A = this chain, B = another copy of it.
Amino acid sequence: MYICKVQGKCVSTIKDEHLKGCSLITMQRLNKTKGPVGEMLVAVDTIGCSVGETVLVTRGSGARAVLGAESPADMVVVGIVDTYDCN
């Protein structure tokens, strides 16, 4: 999984029916020293996180385990991170 920082929202009116009602957030991965790294990513938020929060994100079929097999999502927020260390 990735630890990411929620950095914004993505609004899409015309979208796949199985994404209707899903909140889409933009984010970047965080590295060992808690700085943003890598390119912007988009995930479905099922936890109710806010911009600025640090979250745990899963990818691929793990994402669809959360939302159901008919969901096309390939990234989902699966937790709000209280703390992490990486030395």
Interface residues of A, Cβ cutoff 8 Å to B: 1-3, 7-16, 18-19, 24, 26-32, 37-43, 46-47, 51, 56, 58-66, 69-76, 78-87
Contact = CB atoms under 8 A, between A and B. Distances in A.
A2 B62 contact: no
A64 B16 CA distance: 13
* Count of identical protomers in the assembly: 5
A13 B8 CA distance: 22
17 contacts: A3-B42, A9-B84, A11-B84, A12-B79, A14-B47, A16-B78, A16-B79, A18-B65, A18-B66, A26-B86, A29-B39, A42-B84, A60-B62, A61-B61, A63-B72, A65-B70, A72-B76
